[in-house]
A and B are shown apart, each in its own frame.
Chain A
């Protein structure tokens, strides 16, 4: 290892995205200690009709509970995993979450593949490095990673892998695949500039 003890502490952010109920929290819990985080967001028009504000018309913020996980690589080097809120109404939080993120894991469920389209669109547009991890649910048909890639119309360089987020070893492979991909993207951007 070529790091000096005087290294500045570094905290990195990885996002776990995907549709509601696809296993984001399970993935974070399989590999790290989950901690609760409360945040509050300004109620936007996107919340209208969903948040019943009758009687509290003055209420302009709503509390959102999020989970995050922490993996200590060594003293002074910590990786944080943040599950992005699945429901569309919380999308306005994504810009903040994805700012400066190392990359994102988009979790997909083959029974509801369309649920991950918005996440993929989002990270493609922002230029955030991402991978697609297909969570193999019990009872769901198994597909090839390549079938999923073509169904999602992904760029050939976006890694796609099958996983079982309940298993720690599988969750580890997912994260390693993402960081390797981010490293590749970083190296490519440095050599082209």
Chain B
């Protein structure tokens, strides 16, 4: 359990965070400049915040009692946004900076698939490779908490899934993680608890799925599902999988065949097509009947929440909403193309 109750004056506002985190993986979500990085730097000991930070029984900061452990005595692994690998050391030396235990080194190299790049220099690595090396380096210290700052920000889509896979492996090692992201769907992919930070204060916190379902909080219009129980049909090119709220989704076989379920998939709100009546023949493999629970119009755009009964966010033009005569309570059919799903990880 991580207790945080800190104040840290920043340039434009004072970061004031008070929360207790008991989830295995917590996501800190918020727009740029919300104070996310400052918060995890305070936990790591790189910024001197006032207040109290404790992990289980270990008090890291308690300014009232004059306690403020330096970073090297906090046992907290920190992976900054750009990995910050030491440029003068090769990959294996970077990893060993965190500790010299051979067995641990070997097992991390295996888990994060680093063997082929051990003698390379950081400058020659891709963004994803850097993240993995930084992750291994931090884990060599046997941290009691791992802090990740935007671990996926500098990585392109296909590689993101790999990194998320590695992060899941780390999560499965049982090391608590706090990770910062400005993309709500990334938060959903890994975390069970979520803290939304805005202007240095907590705007919302709670279980990730419920906190991030609110577009006002998440600021995004993505639909994210954790799916499990895959039924592959190679010949037809589809995989059926069930979401945690009971929806059966049809996903493209070739993209998920190799994945280790459960996986997280997302579909953009404007990739969903709305029908006023049941479509008779259609290529979309996912057609759900639902009821418009709410509409929110902003300058030519209408965001609908449709309950199927699982809630889906749909974004259409105002013209489309008028043509279909949509209002709260309208019966609609939603079509989701299989190939519009993106695998988050």
The judgment on whether A and B are partners is no
Query: Which residues of A approach B to under 8 Å, CB–CB?
Result: none
